[in-house]
């Protein structure tokens, strides 16, 4: 119980410090090892856990219920729809050991500037999304998306270029 109270106090203190810098983190959002480079809004029920770090550029918006885990680099002017997941790791698949005991495979995720990611998108480890890209709602991004592309589907594929 004391550990939970202590964590709540530390989190409230961090939120207050960040608020002075223009970072608004709403109720029931938790974060660890996240660096904000400018103004940002994190809506309720989001979880951000850097492994080792999440770096977020200025003018960032993260909608309700998102989960970011891993080594993640996000550019400026990025908006992310609700219930989106960035997952920077997965388990090994060797047959000679239980999956739950296998080490994690980790690769960074990089998001360029001026990117819009729709609702319920999943972005997997090692993906780079180029500047100006748009990712359609419900997409699963398993490969890099070029600059100024619009991508959608499972797996996400480029369907057109932004003009």
Closest alpha carbon to 74 in 128, 26, 134, 152: 128
pTM above 0.85, yes or no: yes
> Rounded to an integer, what distance in angstroms lies between the CA atom of residue 34 and that of residue 14?
11
Catalytic residue numbers, as ranges: 91
Q: Which residues contact 155 (CB under 8 A, 6 or more apart)?
A: 140, 141, 142, 143
Residue 9 confidence (pLDDT): 81
Q: For residue 23, give every residue at least 6 positions away whose Cβ sits within 8 Å of its Cβ, in sequence order, or none.
A: 36, 39, 40, 41, 42
Give which of 24, 37, 135, 145 is closest to 81, Cα–Cα: 135
What phi and psi values does residue 63 have, to the nearest 5 degrees?
A: -75, 180
Alpha helices in 21-118 (DSSP H): none
Distance, CA of 122 to CA of 82 (rounded, Å): 11
Dig out the tokens for 24 from the structure. 């608004």
Q: CATH no. for residue 61?
A: 2.160.10.10
Strands (E), the chain: 23-25, 30-36, 40-42, 47-56, 60-62, 67-74, 79-80, 85-87, 89-91, 104-106, 109-111, 116-117, 122-124, 128-129, 134-135, 140-141, 149-152, 157-161
Range of the structural domain that residue 130 is part of: 2-161
Q: What is the pLDDT along the chain (163 residues), one digit of tens a residue?
A: 556 677 778 778 888 888 889 999 999 999 999 999 999 999 999 999 999 999 999 999 999 999 999 999 999 999 999 999 999 999 888 888 898 899 889 999 999 999 999 999 999 999 999 999 999 999 999 999 999 999 999 999 999 999 8
Task: Tell me how many domains the chain contains.
Answer: 1
């Amino acid at each position: 119980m004391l550990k939970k109270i202590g964590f709540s106090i530390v989190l409230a203190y961090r939120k207050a410090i960040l608020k002075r810098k223009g970072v608004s983190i709403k109720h029931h959002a938790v974060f660890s090892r996240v660096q904000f480079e400018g103004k940002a809004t994190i809506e309720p029920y989001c979880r951000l856990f850097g492994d080792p770090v999440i770096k977020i550029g200025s003018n960032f918006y993260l909608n309700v219920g998102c989960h970011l885990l891993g080594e993640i680099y996000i550019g400026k002017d990025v908006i992310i729809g609700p219930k989106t997941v960035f997952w920077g790791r997965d388990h090994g698949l060797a047959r000679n050991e239980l999956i739950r005991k296998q080490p994690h495979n980790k690769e960074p995720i990089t998001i360029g500037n001026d990117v819009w990611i729709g609702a319920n998108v999943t972005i997997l480890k090692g993906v780079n999304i180029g500047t100006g890209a748009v990712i359609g709602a419900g997409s699963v991004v398993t490969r890099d998306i070029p600059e100024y592309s619009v991508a959608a589907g499972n797996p996400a594929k480029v369907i057109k270029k932004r003009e």
